Amino acid sequence: MTAAARPGVPEPPADAPAGGLEVVEYTDPLCPWAWGSEPKLRRLRALLAGRAVWRPVYGVLFDEEEDDPAPDPAAETAWYARYIAGISSHTGAPHAVRLARVAACSRPASLAAVAAERQGPAVAAAVLRRLRESVFVLGEPADTTDRVRAAVTGLPRLDEGLLLADMTDHQVRDRLTADRAEARAPVPEVLGLSGPPPHPGAAKEAGDGYRYALPTLLFVGPAGRRVVPGWRPLGEYLAAARAVAPGLPAEAGRLDPDAALELHLSLTRADLEQLTTDGRPPARAVRLESGNGPLWLHPAYAEGHPANAQLHPAYTERQPAPAADRAPGR
């Protein structure tokens, strides 16, 4: 029985490669669990390259339509900073030394992520990364158009004027409206879900319905669909992909750290563990500190990074990594 013939299973897209696998990623630029999952998802994209169509769906995590203003913004910010730090303890992802505020809305950042797709996948990936670094490294969420502009300024190969113009384009806005609606129509498998802590991925109440917990990946292929919600190991994603698209190849090789930096521009310790041959920091990187370990930035990516405008010049000093960071597998 094909996917199209199975009740409730959407048909793979017409432009899907051989094997007919589609990966739908429900996410948000400002979601801390999505930020922490990025190293695994970078690895998964590499493993499925040429074998799958990958479609991001931006769920608008912080939404004026659903959220009432906080009665005490300072207390909310302090609570949310602790919440992010707690998530970082599970994911290993960097978090900001100081969070300026809870994002008022993730719609501007999501519009920027959608608009960036018009400039190609490499630019789109770099824009999304900068938007995430704005909150989880610098503590300044890109929650307005002006803050989006500040976050992405200086990105290699990005046409900033075109990005800002495309954020106002009706097709980009319609796409985000459709994404938001799709994220609020979760498949039955995630309703009332119980699973392994710390983030099993059960659908969240939103307005008068539910939305996917972020991140959630939906795999759709010739043999049906599988949903992998919340914080899960890489192996679960691969098992789901192979279950719906039998015949996917074994894992591809890892990259030299400098090659990984050239491809991704910005790497965390978890990125090095997932993507590289030995986990050591790239030799020619610029080191950027956070509240939970460093990032290693490509020099061209670091040159226009908003961290340069902060009162911490050591953030972008070129310096050798400590011995612990150079240990294999770290």
Higher pLDDT among residues 156 and 318, named by residue: 156
Return d(Cα 131, Cα 152) in angstroms, integer: 7
Mean pLDDT of 92-105: 96
pLDDT of residue 253: 76
Do 53 and 22 form a contact (C-beta atoms < 8 A)?
yes
Q: Flag whether the pTM goes above 0.75.
A: yes
Structure tokens at 215: 């991140």
pLDDT of residue 308: 80
Do 216 and 191 form a contact (C-beta atoms < 8 A)?
no
Return d(Cα 237, Cα 196) in angstroms, integer: 15
DSSP 3: G
User: Mean pLDDT for the chain?
Assistant: 87
Mean pLDDT of 172-195: 96
Mean pLDDT of 223-252: 91
**Highest mean pLDDT (candidates 60-69, 193-202, 250-259):** 193-202
Least confident of 116-125, 249-258, 266-275: 249-258
- pLDDT band with cut points at 50, 70 and 90 for residue 194: confident
Rounded to 5°, angle at Cα 220 from 219 and 225: 80
Structure tokens at 59: 């769920």
Buried b (16+ CB within 10 A) or exposed e, 273-297: bbbbeebbbbeebbbbbbbbbbbbb
- Residue 259 pLDDT > 50: yes
DSSP 223: T
- pLDDT band with cut points at 50, 70 and 90 for residue 195: confident
Higher pLDDT among residues 304 and 148, named by residue: 148
pLDDT of residue 71: 80
pLDDT of residue 295: 96
- pLDDT band with cut points at 50, 70 and 90 for residue 196: confident
Do 110 and 58 form a contact (C-beta atoms < 8 A)?
yes
Which residue has 């203003």 as its token pair?
Answer: 69
Measured torsion, CA atoms of residues 271, 277, 278, 279, in degrees rounded to the nearest 10 = -10
pLDDT of residue 101: 96
pLDDT of residue 68: 65
Mean pLDDT of 85-102: 97
- pLDDT band with cut points at 50, 70 and 90 for residue 20: confident
pLDDT of residue 81: 98
Count other C-beta atoms under 10 Å from residue 26's C-beta: 28
- Residue 200 pLDDT > 50: yes
pLDDT of residue 80: 97
Mean pLDDT of 64-79: 81
Q: Residue 149, SS3? A: helix
Do 135 and 96 form a contact (C-beta atoms < 8 A)?
yes
pLDDT of residue 207: 81
pLDDT of residue 67: 65
Do 303 and 106 form a contact (C-beta atoms < 8 A)?
no
- Residue 250 pLDDT > 90: no
- Residue 5 pLDDT > 60: no
